[in-house]
Structure 1
Amino acid sequence: MSQNKRGSSNQRAVSRRSVVQGAAAIGAAAALSPFWFNIARAQTETIKIGFPVPLTGPFGTEAQDQVRAAELAIKEFNDAGGFKGRKAELLVRDDKLNPGEAATRTLELIEKDKVNYVVGSLSAAVQLSINNVTKERGVIFNSISQSDAINEAKDWSKFTFHEAMNPHMTAGAVGRYAFPKFGKRVAFLTADYAYGHEMVRGFQSAGKALGIETVADIRHPIGHSDYSAFLPRIQALKPDVLCLCNFGRDQVNSVKQATDFGLKETTKLVAPVLLYTARQAGGGDAFDGVIGGTSYYWRLEDTVPTAKALNDKFRAAYGGIVPSDYGALGYAGVKTVLTAVQNAGATDTDKVIEAMRALKYDFYKGPQYYRGCDHQSVQSVLIIESKSKDMKNENDVFNIVSVEQPDEANLRSCGELGHKT
């Protein structure tokens, strides 16, 4: 065979190999795109949790603590290896305590940032706005703010979970403790929005069986600073108990002014949610003797191992401070979702929902679980009393005087909420 024939034959062989290899490469690329490419990308993408809270406004102190604790839950998850190598990420947004702003930020988190889940809120009205967006788009929302309405069938969806306590259980527990001890003539100083209204209703529901008399329900706007016009009216009615159904800076101002006015001399001050952050801001003298409810107080570490574990991790991460009540909710709200991902073995929404519904958990305060009909977290309610003496340290601001254990009997029934049973 001549040299030219051999060269021609070799060139044809090389050409055929190139065509086959090229076709294989094209086929491989086609196989990877888009289906296999999307799977490969999903296995490396972070698990994104949107976290809208009011970083600015009268609840900013509490919101910032929510963020700190939520970041701790993210860090724990990532330090443990994440989920099949995928790490989690917290995307914090300021909802400015405004339902419209919250809806906008939540929509951006879902549409632009492509979050897998949403956790957060710190207002009864704001969380309903967030929930409207998430349920329309089929995204899990775990709320960490008190609300009764979010459990009701008209606002609820299968994507809705409520890690926080609700006003019916919170005010109910405080009322069952306070009214038999301090008297049945009850006045309310109420923040004029859903949180305040629902707390009044919770107190009155519990108080009905105890024979309380409502002598006044005086309402004020969120962010009110001067309560001097209300206090003489309240004092003239001579209530045994004044229920301060407000939150954050409003609670600090109303407690301080009621104390300065001398109302404590004749009337017991009671708050459905007695905030750790408010007590720290308002001081021991102003808050001394005030009774209230809470989902969490750091002194639970004396009896509950998971509380001590959370406190120790929080102290190590944030310069020795302890988590607040709403901070701990930020931790639990994120941790339940990420635990459900692990238990489901998937990030698929329906599978995570089923895993959350099946959770029996103790992350920071004792046993909890989500009730089937409304995804309300069934949990204990702590009754606390503020103190100004015999404090072990600057964080030792409350005594736990009673604990109402987890019990669905203390919730509104599924039928009352409009759920089919």
Structure 2
Amino acid sequence: MFHFGVSYPFIIFHICLHVEIYTSHICPRVHTYIWCFIYFTDERTFYYLVTFKITNIKYKEKYGRKTSREFVERSRQIERMVRLIIFRQSSHKGRYIKCHVIKLSPDKDGVKVLVLFLFRYPSSIGETRIKKKIGNTLYQALKNKNFSLAISNPSIKITRCGIRTTASSLPLTLASTTDRIVMGTTAALTGEWPWQASLQLKDSGHQCGGSLISNTWIVTAAHCFQKTKNPTQWIVTFGTTIIPPLRKQNVDTIIVHEKYNNITHENDIALMQLAENVEYSNEIQRVCLPESYIKLPPHTSVFVTGFGSVVDDGPTQNVLHQARVEIISTDVCNRTDVYNGLIKKGMLCAGFMEGKVDACKGDSGGPLVYPDHHDIWYLIGIVSWGESCALPKRPGVYTQVTQYRNWINSKIGV
């Protein structure tokens, strides 16, 4: 499942030795000494979202309401099973913090369960080692133990990307998101869009958005690098504000698609490698990449984010904005009264035919994302081009990420 770490302030542990020394056995005089050893440990919390099916119970309609007695009781049963049986008998004893059932949904074989797991480990232990350790434990424990609730082995899935979290470490759901960007307001919560990056030229500030797809790589638009492809001229920042940034990174490598056409906007995609790996946290996290076969139907709700203008030709915004838009079919987008055949393979239209809500200048390269039924978020588009902002019959045009999964994988192995 998905993991990210949250660094805590240094925690101080005191270990004290109380020693009494007698100077004479006849007339004892006692000197008491106390030595205290102070240890500092920087611990981090690691999160995993796990989905699995329970096959020996049937779904009830009231499971769909988290306030219902049925949801609460079933969730407590699942959490108790995990807490008492799985982790108290594993090597994670003392490291396991808690689990929390996020969602129960119907399945033909029973009930689908989405659970958030939390662990705490010292930062000195490598992330790769912890991922492997926790992942192996989850798989083996869920597969091999005998439970009163029967878990389907093939259904176990551990996700390590696409989670939006609140400050309390619980995932944000679709309901927390509202219409933003043009004709909207700012992103409300820290951690709401943790993969959002601001791509900036050192001498002229914010230029484009980008999406974190690993702890090293960002995907963005090729047209963002028309001024310069020199990585030493660029920096990347994370967080919901440009100033001050949550984190600032230098850039090591820029890869622009070899067949990018700045006239037709075809192949408008690029990759940017950070000079140092970013450390995941509640506020910084990678988005999931969709499988190449994924195709969202028209009218599907998707979300675009960025620091761009909220009106046509307006200034860059210091605070991150967001907007809900809808997928528009290529057939509609290519009508003579819309873009008249300009939408090519590898492009995706999203917005509203009546306009009003849209990405705008400065949002280029940023993410267009959608949630699956478990509220795991996937990058479906990259802000590419459009005629002005939020005009009727002029929706935003995005690079269709599913069409470039093989290209991304060939360049960086993701």
What TM-score do you get using the length of structure 2 for normalisation?
A: 0.28
**Larger helix share, 1 or 2:** 1
**Larger strand share, 1 or 2:** 2
What TM-score do you get using the length of structure 1 for normalisation?
A: 0.28
Task: Answer with 1 or 2: which has the greater Rg.
Answer: 1
